[in-house]
Amino acid sequence: MLHSQGLIVELNPLMRPLIETSEWLFSAVKASTLILAWLLMVKHAKVNLEFVHKAAIGGSVAYMLIWSSWFFSAM
């Protein structure tokens, strides 16, 4: 809703064209990637739970670093 009113912009250059095309398309792609990542982690946790824990923490840290750099560079 905020994007459609022009109050926010997508900073991710890979996702920006999707949200500019359609908020529904953006939401579908975002949800699909999150669900796929979750399914892969659940499946692999049966084989190597320690790796999944490290991957989840590493991915979270990487996400926050990337998001923060985009956010502060846009200010």
Task: From first to last of the 75 residues of the chain, give the pLDDT tens digit.
Answer: 888 888 888 888 899 999 999 999 999 999 999 999 999 999 999 999 999 999 999 999 999 999 899 888 877
Burial of 56 (0-12, 13-18, 19+ CB in 10 A): middle
User: What residue spans define the domains of the chain?
Assistant: 16-73
Dist. CA 6–CA 31, nearest whole Å: 22
Per-residue confidence (pLDDT) for residue 9, from 0 to 100: 85
- pTM across the whole model: 0.70
Per-residue confidence (pLDDT) for residue 26, from 0 to 100: 94
- The neighbour count for residue 74, using CB atoms within 10 Å, is 8
Burial of 19 (0-12, 13-18, 19+ CB in 10 A): buried
